[in-house]
Chains A and B, each alone.
Chain A
């Protein structure tokens, strides 16, 4: 039913309605259809906002580093390394302390929070475009459940951190592959089959996780697993950062390259094929990249829900539906969002609250509010 597919019109918000033409024939026409220009100041504002948030994140909580110290600390690190070198004459204990906080304690955490937020939002935006459904999120195909089970298994076997990540990634990939395979067997329309397959696989893998919890040592392993599952950036260090960066960047790059195809895909499968886009391989690639992002996020920080669901809608409200712009915007907004949440988790209460709980509690009301203004575009 091409009529239905092309009837899909996104609207950035209620005031600026863009109705897509029925049949885009060429790449130019696709561009034109999404041709809502995004002013440059939006990009600047996003970057500035993120930088300000990073500054705030340094300035609050334990080991707070005020902005002036942050700036001087960074400058010291790069331009006057002798101050922090214990062997040199100019060595200052205070400067070294600040340097350690900036680059070893707070720094990796802030960077990782930003990366994970960006990853979840980017994967979520891609999935929502691919499924043409505003309610899907990166873990809809079971990647989180699979990654959790993998990571729990690694913890059960007392493996070191590196293996936890590997197991998480393999688990996530296995779960998603199973969902895709099931969809192939079922041969329903792509959305329904994948969603059902994902739910099924999620449930299967969370049963596995429960089972692992059951046989885990309740003194030692169980609390670790339990706490880790709820999501936390509490124990990340620069090693985690190094491990996570490569797969995350690969995922980002693939999705960025696919952003044009996502635009075309939103016109519907028939239109996309008519324009020479291989919908199947596009889907598989998007699924692969999103799984990578979601699984790595789970591996470093546990299950953090609702970022991938809520943030893309927020981003869409700001810049509209063009995926070429929407994906980077989602990344920035996602990073900022998760940074705020992480700061709340870190500072607001006497003990650190698991971030997965906070994202849900903040995310869901957010979600409802955004939908008030956004929903017309998805009809």
Chain B
């Protein structure tokens, strides 16, 4: 058993297809890719391409119409919700909290998969929370109410909760789409740090610049519902991006920052 889990990729998505209802057709189909331990994968695609649905399929929150998702060689359906949560963390785009939990109270909820149904967090769980607070420099926010935080602060708090949860892979659903430019960069930096610490990160975005910045692998979800996977440098080409977004885009090398950037032509 141990050998098997060592051999199998962390996440293996095979021939995945999804449709909401029969007459509306597939959102995506023939989607196959793998995510290895400690790897960064960016899911790139225009709005409505089904990126979030794909993440939900991986997280076991949505059932694919066809195909399979395997986690450590076992189908995700065979995992209980609790066991799945020990392996997969999920950071959502909008974090709406109905009650006025403080950041500390919110963070300790990350420990839920390891806490019994009739139990409450122990001392060591709170210690993990303090570590995560230091990790993500949340000291100033720690006693504030989550629902009073700004979008960027909330995003960081959600990441910290995932660290408390300590899964193998953290899924990010459009973490940057609601943030201003500075916060977008900060979130991506956090993602990169997570990968450096050994977490696998799967992040969705509709901004083609981000996979280039992040490095790692990119999976491009095309408008026709198919997927192209590979390294950012080889997979992303001006032609493919232009076709994907239906507008003229160019990949240009920018001297000052020593990297390739995606820019549009004049309007």
Instruction: Report if A and B touch in the complex (beta carbons < 8 A).
Output: no
B residues with a Cβ closer than 8 A to A are none
A residues with a Cβ closer than 8 A to B are none
